[in-house]
Amino acid sequence: MGRSIITVFLLGEEPWEKFSPETRDLLQDESATHHDILQADFLDTYKNLTIKTIVALKWIHTYCSHASYFMKTDDDMYISYANIVKNLSAPSTPTTDFAMGHLFENNFASRNVYNKFYMPRCMFPEKFYPPYLAGSGYVMSGDLAGKIFRTALYIHVGLS
């Protein structure tokens, strides 16, 4: 549809040790051939998804500040590029301060330590989260990567 789309994969440190030597070879071949694998210095675990997201936003802000939009998605999601390009090319779609995805509203913060989504009160004291987009896939205008990354630098999370 006349648009350029660049796809990159972000990995932390941990998966490399978990992968078989054959898989590591395939990943290195992929990276050497397509230059589409980013690896950053963090443990790639579920609990570090926020760090992974901030690393991605920093990379987008640093190397893709010219991009009109970016999409963050999980590796097990199906992406219809034609539908995304069609929606983002519509005249009514904002080009700044824009985000789209599955919106969660009035989701409660789980205090159950055995729950995958456990959130200690010291990290988030409110009962309900503010509205947010599902992490499995969302699209944002290019300007938001820098805005969110710069804001994240000033967020302090107290742990007990």
Kindly state whether residue 42 falls inside one of the protein's structural domains.
Answer: yes
| pLDDT higher than 80, residue 160 | no
Q: Is 157 domain-assigned?
A: no
Q: Is residue 127 part of a domain?
A: no
Which residue in 137, 148, 152, 155 sits closest to 60, CA to CA? 148
Whether residue 28 lies inside any domain: the answer is yes
Task: Evaluate whether residue 122 is within a structural domain.
Answer: no
Q: What is the pTM of this model?
A: 0.85
Q: What are phi and psi of 10, to 5 degrees?
A: -105, 125
Domain presence at residue 113: no
Output 143 or 24, whichever has higher pLDDT.
143
> Does 115 map to a domain?
no
- Judged against a pLDDT cut of 80, whether residue 156 lies above it is answered with no
Residue 52, domain member (yes or no): yes
Q: Reply yes or no on whether the pLDDT at 159 is more than 50.
A: no
Summarize pLDDT for 9-41 with one digit per residue, the tens.
Answer: 998 886 566 778 888 888 889 999 999 999 898
Tally the domains of the chain. 1
Query: Range of 22's domain?
Result: 9-88+135-152
Tens of pLDDT, residue by residue over 81-123, are: 999 999 999 999 999 999 999 999 999 999 999 998 899 999 8
